[in-house]
Structures are given as C-alpha cells and as structure tokens.
Amino acid sequence: MSLDRMVLAFAGLMTLLSVFLTWYVSPYFLWFTVFIGFNQIQSAFTGFCPAAMIFKAIGVKPGTAF
C-alpha cells in the first residue's frame, strides 16, 4: 500500500473512531472529528501531514501526493 492510500485509510479510520467515541463515550469527542477535518483541509493546501511523516519514517513506500 502506498503512502497516499495509507494516509487516506488512516484518516477514514480516525473519523470513524471519533464518531464511535462521540456516540458511545462523550459528545466532547466531536472535537476530535473537527480536528481530523481541519487537519485534512490544511494538508490539502499546505502539503504538511503529520501522519504521512510518521508513515514515511516507518518505511511505507512513497506515493505521488506525499
């Protein structure tokens, strides 16, 4: 799996996790969902993605976007 697909899968997983936590644990986990969305938007404009940096450091093969 390339880095691009890994980042997209991770973002989707984190979004689903935040919705699950919001539903079953506390409505304050909605802020986690907001953070994920904000991070995706800023990554689209700046190209800076902390998840991509971590995945790259552990040896995931590069893609075209990151």
Provide the pLDDT for residue 1.
87
Residue identified by tokens 């697909």 is 5
Percentage of the residues of the chain whose pLDDT score is greater than 90? 89
Residue identified by tokens 């799996």 is 1
What integer is the mean pLDDT of 39-65?
A: 92
Cβ-based neighbour number of residue 55 at 10 Å: 22
User: CA of 56: how far to CAs of 7, 50, 53, in Å?
Assistant: 10, 10, 5
Question: Is residue 66 predicted with pLDDT exceeding 80?
Answer: no
| Helix axes 30-46 and 3-24, enclosed angle (nearest 10) | 160
| pLDDT tens-digit map of 8-32 | 999 999 999 999 999 999 999 999 9
